[in-house]
Structure 1
Amino acid sequence: MRLVFAGTPAAAVPSLEVLLASRHEVAAVVTRPDAPAGRGRHMVAGPVAERAAEAGVEVLKPAKARDPEFLDRLRAIAPDCCPVVAYGALLPRAALDIPRHGWVNLHFSLLPAWRGAAPVQHAILHGDDITGAATFEIEEGLDTGPVYGVLTEPIRPADTTGDLLERLAHAGAKLLADTMDGIESGLLEPRPQPAEGVSHAPKLGPEDARVDWTAPATRVDRLVRACTPAPGAWTTFHGDRVKLGPVRPAAGASGLAPGELRVGKREVLVGTGTHPVALGDVRPQGKRPMSAVDWTRGLRRAEEDRLV
């Protein structure tokens, strides 16, 4: 089939790679416009745009998918199908109607669970044991379309969003390619999502990533892992923001109030609403990441000091 691939971040690159190597023709790539990045805030192309340019594939960067110039170019390319992975923008009906086999999205959850922008983060945050990926036909609703195929993936106890997303991105790439093959052959038909089990996964912002030390240790652990690498879990000490890497539950320790620090030679414990957790790497404001032990060596602490 003649394809136009839509995607933007690094998690979409494995799918683009697999499709470029497949028997299908990737005629063009649709991606979000360049965005400012780094300390200099220079405009930078996304990972999908960079990979497509390396492969010599036409790259389309509409400000909005309803732009007439973009829609005209898409009609001229005349794709049979448009596979999508984390494109990052809503598609209007005018765009959805152009490919004869529609737009097929690779979503990183077992639909109808965790519809929305942050399915991997929410699966970790809510303590799911199993997640997965699904390919489905895009409708105008939010991740509501009929499903072509699914795969499952266990969530490991120490998984961060980055860890889990990397595995799903590579496994999902094959699922997306297999879905394209099945659509081309006519042997694969999408099935409606069940009405039960619907949950939503809105984007997590910086305020969602602040650690509440009065919460149970399991909740603190899940929040930090869910927000790693982005938006980055954080707390404050003496009013300054401190970013946190994954913590380790320390069920054998006790006697610490929420946010209270206990500094040892090899670890730093923090009290929660249940048992303490051991801090991993931390990143004080304006500084590079370091171990929690190294961070505390440079602190002026009093007994009453807390992380808040």
Structure 2
Amino acid sequence: MRIVYAGSPAAAVPSLRALLAGPHEVVAIVTREDSPQGRKRVLTPTPVADLAADAGVPVVKANRLGPVTDELLALRPDLGVVVAYGGLIREPLLSGPRLGWINLHFSLLPRWRGAAPVQRAVMAGDRETGAAVFQLVPELDAGPVFGVQRRPIGARETAGHLLEAQAEEGAELLVDVVDRLASGTTTAVAQEGEVTLAPKLTIDDARIVWARPADSVDAQIRGVTPEPGAFTELDGDRLKILDAVLARGMAPLPPGRLELRAGRLLAGTEGEPIELVLVQPAGRRPMAAADWWRGRPADAPAQAS
């Protein structure tokens, strides 16, 4: 088949790599425009654009697909494939390819429809997640499903770790669905179950709410790691929490109270405390939490908010 592929971040790279290695022809790759990255705000191509350049496949850089619709339809694609592109696909492009568009989504649809399914699953304390390949329809992530892959969420997995694993596993599922579409041996099944939404994370999602139970605080920290990154405020300065773990069996502390015990820096929650393992104070490099605490003045505030 002739395929148009749309994707942007690192999570979309394994699927593109797998398609490029297969029997189908990727006639164009659509990705978002170069964007400023890092402290120096250097214009940087997306990870998908980098792979496309290496593969020698034509690249269309566009943050909106409307202006490039005619260009893509002129390629006469049999199928459109989208993985974390970051933009909506509307008519007439949506129904332009002979088989329409399919989407690899990193959740067990209809649970966690939206932009941040992996993060929201971790933050909600889900024990299981997965990936689904479905037919794209005008309604958000609502099309019938061709295939699903399930996996447990580890007790220490962050959203970043989970997404990296799902990107690799989901690529295998996607290629299988594409091959079955090519041979006419697959049928999509309507989504069933309760619909939950996974809106894009904001900075408010990353601010730790210490007055919650420890399990909920732990899930929040893991769900926003690495982006946008969990943080709290201490004496008006932002402290990033890069790694933390439940401190099982430790005596409780008031929510947000920090205390060093037996060489471990603990933070109070509604129940048992959380151990802060790796932190990044404002304007400084990441460091062991206990070392950072020992370096503070003895009379420094110990209440985070």
- Shorter chain as denominator, the TM-score bin is over 0.9
Distance of aligned partners of 1:255 and 1:114 in 2 relative to their CA distance in 1, 3 Å threshold = closer
User: What is the alpha-carbon distance in structure 2 between the residues aligned to residue 304 and residue 185 of structure 1?
Assistant: 66
**1:172-198 CA-partner distances (Å, limit 9, x unpaired):** 00110011101111110111112x321
Counterpart residue number, 2:46: 46
Conservation of the 8 A alpha-carbon contact between 1:258 and 1:272: yes
- Candidates 290, 294, 299, aligned match of 1:293: 290
What is the deviation of 1:251? 2.2
User: What is the alpha-carbon distance in structure 1 between the residues aligned to residue 245 and residue 64 of structure 2?
Assistant: 43
- Candidates 179, 182, 192, aligned match of 1:181: 179
- Secondary structure of 2:74's aligned partner: helix
Counterpart residue number, 1:100: 98
- Candidates 182, 194, 197, aligned match of 2:194: 197
Query: Any residues of structure 2 matched to 1:1-308 within 5 Å, and which?
Result: 1-67=1-67, 70-194=68-192, 196-264=193-261, 266-302=263-299, 305-308=302-305
**1:204-242 CA-partner distances (Å, limit 9, x unpaired):** 111111001111111110000000110100001110001
Superposition TM-score, scaled by structure 1 size: 0.97
Conservation of the 8 A alpha-carbon contact between 1:110 and 1:152: yes
User: What is the alpha-carbon distance in structure 1 between the residues aligned to residue 265 and residue 302 of structure 2?
Assistant: 14
Conservation of the 8 A alpha-carbon contact between 1:265 and 1:293: no
Conservation of the 8 A alpha-carbon contact between 2:259 and 2:302: no
Conservation of the 8 A alpha-carbon contact between 2:125 and 2:219: yes
- Secondary structure of 2:243's aligned partner: coil
- Secondary structure of 1:235's aligned partner: strand
What is the deviation of 1:51? 0.4
User: What is the alpha-carbon distance in structure 1 between the residues aligned to residue 202 and residue 180 of structure 2?
Assistant: 37
Alignment RMSD (CA, Å): 1.2
Deviates more, 1:150-159 or 1:71-80: 71-80
Conservation of the 8 A alpha-carbon contact between 1:151 and 1:175: yes
What 5-or-longer segments of structure 2 have no aligned partner? none
What 5-or-longer segments of structure 1 have no aligned partner? none
What is the deviation of 1:264? 3.6
User: What is the alpha-carbon distance in structure 1 between the residues aligned to residue 171 and residue 302 of structure 2?
Assistant: 48
Conservation of the 8 A alpha-carbon contact between 1:137 and 1:146: yes
Residue 210 of structure 2 aligns to which amino acid in structure 1? W
Residue 74 of structure 1 aligns to which amino acid in structure 2? L
What is the deviation of 1:289? 0.6
User: What is the alpha-carbon distance in structure 1 between the residues aligned to residue 26 and residue 263 of structure 2?
Assistant: 52
User: What is the alpha-carbon distance in structure 2 between the residues aligned to residue 105 and residue 227 of structure 1?
Assistant: 24
What is the deviation of 1:61? 1.0
Superposition TM-score, scaled by structure 2 size: 0.97
Deviates more, 1:44-53 or 1:70-79: 70-79
User: What is the alpha-carbon distance in structure 2 between the residues aligned to residue 63 and residue 304 of structure 1?
Assistant: 45
How many pairs align? Answer: 305
User: What is the alpha-carbon distance in structure 2 between the residues aligned to residue 280 and residue 202 of structure 1?
Assistant: 29
Conservation of the 8 A alpha-carbon contact between 1:221 and 1:246: no
Residue 188 of structure 1 aligns to which amino acid in structure 2? T
What is the deviation of 1:244? 0.4
User: What is the alpha-carbon distance in structure 2 between the residues aligned to residue 302 and residue 216 of structure 1?
Assistant: 28
Conservation of the 8 A alpha-carbon contact between 1:131 and 1:154: yes
What is the deviation of 1:267? 1.4
User: What is the alpha-carbon distance in structure 1 between the residues aligned to residue 20 and residue 254 of structure 2?
Assistant: 55
